[in-house]
Structure 1
C-alpha cells in the first residue's frame, strides 16, 4: 500500500518571468569619488615614486635631485615631507655616523613603533620624540648644500668648521637628552606626558616624575647638567662632572641617579 502525500501531487510553481528589461543591482556606493592625487596615494607608493625620480649615472645629477628634495619637494605637503625625509635620512646616515667621535654614540632615527618608553602611538612622524633626529636633519641640509656647491665650482672646498658645532656640541647634547628619556622613564623619574600632580596626602615615599618636554641638557666636555624649564624660569637642577673619555651613557646614568636624589629632596614638587 503506497501513501501519496498531497504536496507531491501539486503542480510545480510557474517559471519566473520579468515584467521589464533585466538590470544589474545598483552599485553599493552611489556617491562620486574624488580623483586621486599625488599626496593622497598610500605612503609606500609615494615613497616608490620619490625613489624613481633618481637619475641613473652621474653622481652630480643625483646630488642635484637630493638638493631639490631638501629645498623644494619636501615642503609641498606632509605626505611628501615624510617620503622625502625617509630618502634623505637613509642616504646621509652613513656620512653622519662616520663623523661621530668616540666615546660619543649615536641613535638619530625617530621612534616609529609603540614601546614602554613611548606609550603614545599617535606621536607624529614629523615631530619625533628622538631629539637627535633634529641634528641629523640639520646635518643633511648642510651636507646637501655643500655637495652641490662643490659640484658647481671646483674652487669651493667643504668647510669642516661648518660641522664643528653639530658634532662638538649639538650631537652629544641631544644624545644625552635621549638617554635621559630612556633611563629616566625606566627609573620612574621622567615621564613622556606631563604627570598628574600628586595630592599631598599620598606623596610620602612616592616620586613625582618630571615631564621630558620640560628637560634639556647643558653640555660641555667637563660638566653636564640637567636643566628644568617652567613657566617662571629655567634652572639647572642637577649637575655632574665628566671626563673627556667618559661615555655619554655613563653621564646620563649619573644624571638620572642625581635626579632621583633631587626629587626625593623636593617632595611635593610639580612641573608647571
Structure 2
C-alpha cells in the first residue's frame, strides 16, 4: 500500500502563549458587560428579592407534615411555630412580615376565646379601600412600616410570644401545666385598654378631634369645625358655638387610656415626656367598651372647647 504523504493534511503547530497568529482570523465582538447601575440594582440573590406571596409559601413549607422519631406531627409543628417566633422572624423585615402572618392567623382563634365579656376585640380592622387587590412587591420598592395604628395588634403579638413558649414546654414535659396567670394581665388589662384606645381613635377621627399620620399629612391646617348635634355627640357646654368654633386635633400617638374597673380616662403625653389625665369618666364592670369610648370622646370635645384646660 502506497501512502501519499503530500495529500495528508498538516497538523497544526503547537500552541505557545507568546506566539502571534500568522494567519488572518475573524475576531468576533465581545458581549459588552452589564451597566454598572444594573449590577448594583440586582446585587446578590437573597430572600428579600422574592415576592411576598412566594416568601410566605416558603415559610409554610417549613412545617413538617410527618411525625418524627419520638414526636408527633403536631408537636413538631408547634416547635416550628416557636422557631418562627424566636428565630426566623428576627432575620429581616420580609421574613418578619411572613412569619407574623402565619403566627397571627394560627393563634387568633385561641386569642379570641380568651376575650372576657362584655369586652370586644378587633386586632385586624378592615382597611377603608378593600376593593383593591393586594400587590406583591420586592425589596427594591419603597418599604412600608411594619407597625400599625391598631394597638390591639401588639397585644395579640404579646399573647403569641407567651403561647408558643407554653405549648412547647407542655410538649417537652408532662409535668408542666399551662399557667393561667401568664395570660391574666393580658386579658384583664392589656386587651381591654388597647381595644378602648382603638375605639377612641375611631370615634375621635369621626368627630374630628383626633389626628393620625395619614390624615395629618393630607392637610396642613390643624383645626376643623366643631361637631354639631347631628354628629351623635352633643356637648353639654358650648354647643351653641358648635357651628362657628374650631377645635385643634390631638395626635393619636400622644394619647393613651388609663383603665380600671370603675373608671377610665384619657392621658396625654407632652414633648417634655410628662403625662397628665385630661378626661376621666366612671364606668361599671359590665359596661361595653364602645360605650366608654363614646363618653371619653364626648368629654374630650368638651375639654377642647374649654381651651384644653
**2:77 aligns to what?**
62
**Residue 57 of structure 2: which of 38, 42, 48 is its match?**
48
Residue 146, structure 1, aligned to residue 166, structure 2: yes
Residue 77 and residue 110 in structure 1: after superposition, are their counterparts in 2 closer, same or farther (change >3 A)?
farther
**1:183 aligns to what?**
203
**Residue 173 of structure 1: which of 193, 217, 221 is its match?**
193
Residue 196 and residue 230 in structure 1: after superposition, are their counterparts in 2 closer, same or farther (change >3 A)?
farther
**2:122 aligns to what?**
107
TM-score (norm 1): 0.80
Larger Rg: 2
Deviations 1:162-187 (A, max 9, x none): 00000000000000000011000000
Q: Distance in 1 between matches of 2:128 and 2:94?
A: 18
Residue 37, structure 1, aligned to residue 37, structure 2: no
**Residue 262 of structure 2: which of 207, 211, 222 is its match?**
222
Q: 2:247 is paired with a residue of what secondary structure?
A: coil
**Residue 276 of structure 2: which of 213, 232, 235 is its match?**
235
TM-score (norm 2): 0.70
**1:12 aligns to what?**
none
Q: Distance in 1 between matches of 2:96 and 2:126?
A: 17
Residue 256, structure 1, aligned to residue 297, structure 2: yes
Unaligned segments of structure 1, at least 5 residues: 1-19, 116-121, 199-203
Whether contact under 8 Å (1:111, 1:129) holds in the other structure is: no
Q: 1:218 is paired with a residue of what secondary structure?
A: strand
Q: Distance in 1 between matches of 2:112 and 2:33?
A: 55
Q: Could you say what the CA RMSD is over the residues aligned between the two structures, in angstroms? A: 2.7
Whether contact under 8 Å (1:110, 1:129) holds in the other structure is: no
